């Protein structure tokens, strides 16, 4: 331990590597240690305490692939009739080059033959309108959307919906890569498209005001929580909303605000492969069950108008109290002012009790499709780790073990992560929140600390299911491609994450003192894949 300096707690060394949120909002969870049996039993880790297997209710993986890529459950109504994304894209005369600059991925196998041939030629030029007319023609992008070649944007009955793949798929870059941004090639489902500028895409919509619950809002007392100095209101103009969404300082590239809590807490998009290893789900561990997590996405995020249904209103009130009621009231005004009618749009069954993990808004989409999706995202394999210097990897692994990182993390990445949550004051020793509002037990109070690390968890945590306020442990996979770390994108490299200059009270205070040690640990972490032992 002579050369490592780290913050210690009894029997626990916390490492918050790659803690991110998947794409969902509030939901309850029982975050106590699970004793249920997984479809695949976790083996004992070679160095740590192993993993706690959890139940994963699976269906047919092949059918799940279609759900992942193409199933909207009717959310095309929200994205076309409320947010008006395709109309905004046309009005802005968005081109394929524009979309690539925003980090969008294109499926080469779904492209019409004539466009594929044109791209093969035009991509070799300087991309000017004279030499690349198709790449610069807005009609080309419209044609690719209709051909289902824009990954994650799915045509449905003359409208355009959104699927999991928009934020959780990349390509093999076999036709083209705009460095650090969009690509054209064969689909690869699961990995995070780190260059996807979700905020910019949302700002392109003709009615981005319809995303009101997931914007950074001004509280009744004039305060606001998020990266922007000023919050939005129900009276904010489309231009003001677009300015917020398109500013990467407020809405970072590669992140998505998946919480209808009125806080600006866009978090880095998590990968969606090997979800059988990833429980609990969400950076706050709010869901033990993957299908419950995904149902929340479809019924409360991909169609935010459902928050105005009776169950949605109950859900918002239970989690946000008067603040939740205020968001609902403001949202109703926004939809009325922008002429949105006929909602909610997503097709789901009235089922269960609003606020319960399986049915947070009192609704649930098709159960078989949820289970098929479970099977598919569990079958998706993580990318291979990157090994550039085997000796450094071996040194880094030895440091990882000797410094007790395995009290939380496995060296064997082919087994499930431990399903415990790390309390906020442990993962972030400087956590000093101020209580903003009390909530009915078992929910914790709504509370906020200075800085952005806890913004995702001001309202959303695992307490609806009796759990604590804290962070779930991440999969340590596909780290070599990852440009930023911690769920709020506050750390810009693995080397920075491990550097003691960040201080003992910073989030994830685990450090390697010397540059050589940091280099070795970074090499080891970048090498990890499900074959690592």
Predicted confidence at residue 51, as pLDDT, reads 60
Spatial neighbors of 277 by CB under 8 A, at least 6 apart, are: 42, 51, 413, 414, 415, 416, 417, 475, 530
Predicted confidence at residue 445, as pLDDT, reads 94
Predicted confidence at residue 483, as pLDDT, reads 96
Predicted confidence at residue 26, as pLDDT, reads 30
pLDDT per position as a tens digit, 263-310: 999 999 999 999 999 988 988 888 889 999 999 999 999 999 999 999
Residue 163's nearest CA partner among 78, 224, 103 is 78
Whole-number Å distance between alpha carbons of 108 and 176: 10
Predicted confidence at residue 78, as pLDDT, reads 98
Residue 234 confidence (pLDDT) above 70:
yes
Q: Is 16 or 462 the better-scoring residue by pLDDT?
A: 462
Residue 66 confidence (pLDDT) above 70:
yes
Residue 416's nearest CA partner among 48, 12, 29 is 48
Q: What is the DSSP letter of 23?
A: S
pLDDT per position as a tens digit, 155-204: 999 999 999 999 999 999 999 999 999 999 999 999 999 999 999 999 99
- What pLDDT band is residue 53 in, cutting at 50, 70 and 90? low
pLDDT per position as a tens digit, 9-33: 222 222 333 332 232 333 333 333 2
Q: In whole angstroms, what separates CA 194 from the centre of its chain?
A: 11
Average pLDDT, the chain: 89
Q: Of all residues in the chain, what percent carry a pLDDT higher than 90?
A: 79
pLDDT per position as a tens digit, 315-338: 999 989 899 999 999 999 999 999
Predicted confidence at residue 52, as pLDDT, reads 58
Whole-number Å distance between alpha carbons of 246 and 436: 29
């Amino acid at each position: 331990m002579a050369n490592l300096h780290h913050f210690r707690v009894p029997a626990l060394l916390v490492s918050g590597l790659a803690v991110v949120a998947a794409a969902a909002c509030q939901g309850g969870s029982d975050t106590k240690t699970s004793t249920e049996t997984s479809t695949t039993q976790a083996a004992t880790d070679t160095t740590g305490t192993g993993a706690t297997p959890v139940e994963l209710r699976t269906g047919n993986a092949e059918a799940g692939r279609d759900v992942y890529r193409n199933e909207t459950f009717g959310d095309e109504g929200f994205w076309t009739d409320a947010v008006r994304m395709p109309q905004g894209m046309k009005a802005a005369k968005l081109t394929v080059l524009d979309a690539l600059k925003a980090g969008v991925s294109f499926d080469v196998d779904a492209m019409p033959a004539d466009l594929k041939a044109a791209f093969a030629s035009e991509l070799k030029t300087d991309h000017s309108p004279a030499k690349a007319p198709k790449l610069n023609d807005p009609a080309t992008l419209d044609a690719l959307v209709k051909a289902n070649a824009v990954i994650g944007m799915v045509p449905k009955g003359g409208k355009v919906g959104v699927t999991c793949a928009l934020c959780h798929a990349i390509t093999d870059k076999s036709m083209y890569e705009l460095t650090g941004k969009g690509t054209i090639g064969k689909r690869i489902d699961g990995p995070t498209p780190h260059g996807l500028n979700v905020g910019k895409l949302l700002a392109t919509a003709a009615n981005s005001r319809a995303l009101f619950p997931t914007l950074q809002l001004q509280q009744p007392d004039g305060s606001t929580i998020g990266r922007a100095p000023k919050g939005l209101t129900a009276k904010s103009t489309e231009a003001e909303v677009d300015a917020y969404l398109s500013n990467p300082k407020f809405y970072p590239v590669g992140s998505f605000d998946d919480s209808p809590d009125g806080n600006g807490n866009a978090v880095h998009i998590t990968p969606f492969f090997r979800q059988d290893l990833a429980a609990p789900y969400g950076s706050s561990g709010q869901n033990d069950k993957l299908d419950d997590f995904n149902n929340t996405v479809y019924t409360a995020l991909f169609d935010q108008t459902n928050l105005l249904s009776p169950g949605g209103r109950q859900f918002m009130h239970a989690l946000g109290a008067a603040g939740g009621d205020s968001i609902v009231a403001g949202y109703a005004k926004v939809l009325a002012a922008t002429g949105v009618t006929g909602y909610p749009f997503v097709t789901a069954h009235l089922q269960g009790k609003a606020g319960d993990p399986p049915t947070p808004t009192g609704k649930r989409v098709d159960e078989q499709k949820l289970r098929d999706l479970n099977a598919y995202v569990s079958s998706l394999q993580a990318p291979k780790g990157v090994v550039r210097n085997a000796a450094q990897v071996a040194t880094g692994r030895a440091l990882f073990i000797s410094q007790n990182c395995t009290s939380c993390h496995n060296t064997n990445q082919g087994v499930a992560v431990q399903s415990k949550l790390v309390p906020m004051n442990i993962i972030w020793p400087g956590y000093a929140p101020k209580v903003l509002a009390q909530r009915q037990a078992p929910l914790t109070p709504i509370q906020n600390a200075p800085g952005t690390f806890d913004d995702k968890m001001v309202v959303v945590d695992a307490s609806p299911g009796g759990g604590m306020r804290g962070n779930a442990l991440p999969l340590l996979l596909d780290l070599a491609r990852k440009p930023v770390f911690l769920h709020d994108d506050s750390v810009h490299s693995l080397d920075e994450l491990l550097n003691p200059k960040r201080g003992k009270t910073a989030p994830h205070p685990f450090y390697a003192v010397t540059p050589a040690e940091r280099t070795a640990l970074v090499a080891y972490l970048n090498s990890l894949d499900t074959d690592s032992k």
